[in-house]
Every structure is written in C-alpha cells, then in structure tokens.
Chain A
C-alpha cells in the first residue's frame, strides 16, 4: 500500500500509528456486488494490426483468437501506468504472447492489445510494445469529469466484438453524448 503525505505533516508518528490501527481493525465487507462492463471492440484488420501474426504464431484461426479474447470475463485489478490504463486479469493462456521486441512509436487511442500475460486498452495515443488486436471506441479516461474513469478497480469487464460500422456509430454517439454504457451487476 502506498500512502502519500505532505512533508510538513505535524505529528508523523501518531498519524502512522493511527493508520496501522485502522489497517489492523479492517473487516471483510462480505460479498460486494460487482459490475460487469460491456466493452465493444472492433477486431477488424484495420485496427487489429497484429491479429494475423498472433493467429499464425498460435496456430489458430483469427476468429478463434477473437473468440478467446472476447469470451473471457476480466477482473480490473487497478488503474495505473498511464491515466486510465486498466490492469486486467483473466487472459486465456492460449493468448499469452511476448511484447514486441521494439515498441511502436504511435499506438492509437482505444487500441486493445496483448502484452505477455496481460490484455489492456490504451486510453490515449502513446508509444507502446503490446500486440494490437482491435480497438474500442469508448473513452476510458476523461480528465474533465470529476471521476475520470467509469471503471473502478474490482469491477469486471468483457469485450464484445462489433463491426467497423458499429465502432464508428458508437464513436459518434459518444461525441454527441447519446451513447449509454452497458453494465450489469453480479453478486459473487
């Protein structure tokens, strides 16, 4: 656990012991309702620039790579590295693939990739070394909102394959503010 504090905190020792007491007295909250977010992803070759290569490497048809990736339910462990970047657990072992040996200078906003044993979504354009298999039109980080990420650690997500046309439609709905996020609540 990381706790940041201001250098001029007055009573350091007593603050630390208070935190330790709180930590020791923590109780289980039982089973919390969990959100499962539906994340549309277009896996067309226009976005999934590394899909063919992964399919070849893994000796699977591309449709099978897409099926394995979009069938799983992923757990959001935390948000880190870059603003709005979700650390997801639950990638099918058959899709583990090392990062590219030399990273790309420009990866598109919304790119969905696989790096080692993890899958993730680039919330903004950035350099990166992951293998790119698709693109999601959703906005994963909006600095103008009080809560900049709609997904929270502990939530679950699953990817749903959509066509290029649907991807474009969702993009424009997001721009107009008419898109509504899909999620369901599960217990346990």
Chain B
C-alpha cells in the first residue's frame, strides 16, 4: 500500500485511457503526457497501460507500506526518498516506511510516479483513470491509501536509467495536422496560425488548454460533431481551445487543427505564460 501523507496540487491515478465508450459520451482520459507515463512503466518492466500517479506542479508526500520499486518521470522537481535525492528516470528501490517527497518544480508541469506492477485502484470501463462521474474520485486526497501489486522486486536494476531530453520540456514547437474544418480558414488566418507564437493561458487544465491570443474569424458553428484529445477548436470569439485528455467527446465549434500525439504530451508539460508555435505536418 501507498499512503498519501499530503496531497499535492492536483494528483490523480491515470493509465493510457478509457477506450470504447466515447459513444456514451465518456472522455478517453488517461495520463496527460503518455510519453513520460510509458517511460516510467518501461523502466520498471510494467505494461504500458499500468496505472501511474500523475501530479501537477507540486507533488504529493507519500509513505510506502511495502517494499517495492518506483520510477519518476515527467516534470523535474527534486524527488527525495527520506530526504535523499533520487534521479528522474531511474529505477529506485523503496522499503516499507520510506517517505517520498518532491521539491520545487524546475522543468515541466506534470510528473509521473510508477510503482512495480502499477497502482491497483478501481477499474471502471476498462481503465483506472480518474474522471469525475466515472470513478469514485476525481483527485487524490491527503490520507488516501492506494493498493499496489505485491510483485517481487528485482534488486539489481538500479543502474537502469532513461533520461528525458530537455527538448521535451523546452521546445516550443507543436506538430499539428489539418483537421476536418481547416479549409474554412482564409489565408490570413492560416498565416497567423503558422507564423505567430501563442501564449498558454491560465485557463488550462486536463480538459483543455487555452491560449491568450485570439484569431479573429466569422466562422459559423458546425453541427455538433466528434472531437478528440488534441483537437483544436476555434470559437466565434476567436479563442483557440486545445482539447486535452479529459476533453468532451463532441463539440460544436469548427475543428481547425489536430495536435500530434507527441504534441499533446509536450503541451501537457507547458505552464501558463509559456509560448508555443504550430508546425504543420503535410501528409
């Protein structure tokens, strides 16, 4: 078991998402940054889909009630076991009663903690990813106790390390594809989209990221149609809404661009006021 001694700013359990229920209006959810979540699982020898703990800006303080192995990836924020620093991306052993804590954020926005075998929280519709009206909890709270699997720990792995390139956090380039309503944009609007830099707004969360700059347009609403994580919608007031993992399943605003999977992962590591620019991928 793992006990949350003190919850972070926004902690939740996530795997790679809930598939096959979108026609009931169920969002896909899952780790915001799949790349980092998969990396943490890979180092422990877990499957890709094993549930990890996602934390945001300020990590939680946790106590282990079991001997196990862990790996931390994503946001760089000085993780410590009993006050001793450990490295991101390294296979680390923890013993019963060890306490894991995190310091101030240095790079990125979302961190991932994987444990050997994955967190064993409730599975609903084929996924353990937290989402308000699906799982009992939307986020972790101080005092929560999480089940983890009892797999034997391999003791000779502590040299296993995979470093995340700094570009994952620092690159401002996001690859995008044209989406179904792209052709509605005029030349001027396309120029603005691909030549300007945009600023991440404070109104950004697991559902959607928004941008400070607006794109003037007089596009009509579309008939409500499917949207995906990574779909970029343009509202009549010119706001660009970049749907993220908890995004709704359908929307009525024109869908102008679609972020690549890696672009969603990188965007998940961006904070308000940081800049981004779109790079079109021509298929």
Which residues on A are within 8 Å of B, measured CB to CB?
2, 4, 7, 78-85, 87, 123-124, 141, 143-144, 148-149, 153
- Expressed in whole angstroms, the Cα–Cα distance for A82 and B22 within the complex equals 10
| B110-150 contact mask (Cβ, 8 Å, vs A): 1 or 0 | 00000000000000110000001111000000000000000
A103 to chain B, nearest CB (A): 14
Rounded to whole angstroms, the CA-CA distance of A124 and B224 in the bound complex is: 20
Which residues of the partner chain A approach B249 to less than 8 Å between Cβ atoms? 80-81
Q: Judge whether A149 and B24 touch: CB under 8 Å.
A: yes
Give B203 Cβ to nearest chain A Cβ, in Å.
13
Measured between beta carbons, the chain B residues less than 8 angstroms from A2 are 22, 226, 228
Contact call A123/B133, Cβ cutoff below 8 A: yes
Q: Name the prevailing secondary structure of the A interface residues.
A: loop
Chain A contacts of B248 at CB under 8 A? 80-82
* B261 x A7 contact (CB < 8 A): yes
A15 to chain B, nearest CB (A): 16
Q: A4-B19, A148-B125 are in contact. Are A83 and B250 (CB under 8 A)?
A: no
| A78-B250, A81-B25, A87-B224 known; A124+B19 contact, CB < 8 A | no
Question: Contact at B26–A148, with CB atoms within 8 Å?
Answer: yes
Is the interface on chain B under 10, 10 to 19, 20 to 34, or 35 or more residues? 20 to 34
Closest B residue to A146 by beta carbon equals B125
Nearest chain-A residue to B251 (Cβ)? A81
Measured between alpha carbons, how far is A79 from B21 in the docked complex, in Å? 10
Using known A-B contacts A81-B249, A148-B21, determine if residue A4 contacts B133 with beta carbons closer than 8 Å: no
Q: Cβ of A79: which chain B residues have Cβ within 8 Å of it?
A: 23-25
Distance (whole angstroms) from the CB of B47 to the closest CB of chain A: 14
Distance, CA A87 to CA B261, complexed state (A): 29
Residue of A nearest to B27 (CB): A83
Q: Is the CB of B133 within 8 A of A124?
A: yes
Q: Are A4 and B25 in contact (CB under 8 A)?
A: no
Q: How far is the CB of B209 from chain A (nearest CB, A)?
A: 18
With a cutoff of 8 Å between Cβ atoms, the chain B residues found around residue A144 in the complex are 124
Residues of A within 8 A of B19 (CB): 4
